[in-house]
Structure 1
Amino acid sequence: MRLEGVFARYGRRDAWVLQNVDGEVRQGDTIVITGRNGAGKSTLLRVLAGLLPVGRGKVRDRPDIVGWVPERFPTAQPFAVLAYLQGIARVQGLSQSLAQKTIDAWGERFFLTPFFATPLEELSKGTARKVGLIQALLNPPQLLVMDEPWEGLDAQSQAELPAVVEELTKNGGSCVLTDHRGRAADLGDVRHWQVHQGVLKEEDAPAPQEDAEHHVIEIVVRTDEVGTTVEWLREAGYDVHGTRERR
């Protein structure tokens, strides 16, 4: 898949968000896109996924099957989790039996099975993110595009993502993602694209930075609030090292 002189924006009179972008995604690639907020990272992902048409330039040889994982999965839909995934599987052409087998397998892998009967609108951000991941993987994508895929996930699901990416790329697929939390280091051999003011350049692996000073704090909550508090903290970007009963 190649980008050739791509310009992109959201409205005819808007400024260009991407400007004269050239790039190639090859089979087996894992590409991590970095850049400041507003630089155009998410716009580039949408162009790669085919969700945003380009204003100038060309996108050539986009794979037939593209999996798209948005940063925030849209939960304002009148479906329970299982019904939604079954519907997506039908749209993607999976038979009923294969669809259910695939949904069950991914549900177990991402610890989503207990939520199959839960309406989408009642899901937390992290659980909704799991639905977004699974719907993108039901029909094995040739290109998987993910916007901040670790954000909001529980520790077990975060640890599962590198294995998913490795399996995809070993089978000839490609993966392009953004990652502001530095978790892409778990993905092994990756390429790095940096977007700055709408311009793309490929770079070597970013130089390791000295760790910023960190502090460990403890908070005390009621027993029935532990789960929701841990989830809120993770969604806010904090690392939760564990919980224990207060003695």
Structure 2
Amino acid sequence: MKAFKIPKSTYYYWKNHRITARDKQNITLRREILVTWKQSRHVYGYPRIHKALSDKGFNVSAKRVWNLMHSMNIHSVMNKKYRKPSTHNDYAQRDNLVHKDWHAAWCADITYIPLLNHQWVYLASVYNPTKHKVVAHQVCNEMTAELVTRTMKKAVQNTKKPIFLHSDMGSQYTSNQFETLLTNLNIKHSYSLKGHPYDNTYIENFHSMLKRELVFQTKFESIEEVIASIDWYVRWYNKERISLVQST
């Protein structure tokens, strides 16, 4: 013990220590936590990992999962923000037809994604709030009426149309091209109040989540890399990502 420069108490604790059932379970839990965390590309924090373990039959508390993750020095990916270009429009306010009753409505929005060369590309999405699913998405290097129109056309190809489509008052969504499409589809257009993005909370939340879990963690060199990554994320979000809310 003198040769190794360790106290006698440490040596005797090691000599007499026996692995308990809890110790054995922690070994298994750490392995499962690490696998689940890596499969989520480091997205999941302890609430979703706790749910994943419960779904696999592990009777373990959320606090214990948090403690184990803390001991392993793993956590959900962290946020960072960037400054996006400002936009405005001169249209008069139009009606909000949804008023938080989303059972017959989809929502749509555009978000910005930066490239390493400091240019921007744009993601247009259509979202089903009652199913918590992305119905359609498109990435383009220009933020145009054609982008949102093409995304909406894709959204209605293989699924039942909604009664309402809710969006903000951005010039792309108030364009004649987009409004004509909705009229031809017999879909009523609902609008967020200017300066109130949370009127469109579901898709705002989705885009915010996508940025925290993917975009802020990735350095994109080209639009092709953005398209591939967003395609993966949407498939994963729609089919595999553990949700803490229930679809209606």
Range class of TM-score, shorter chain: under 0.3
TM-score, scaled to structure 1: 0.24
Q: Choose 1 or 2 for highest CA Rg.
A: 2
TM-score, scaled to structure 2: 0.24
Q: Relative to total residues, which structure has the larger helix share, 1 or 2?
A: 2
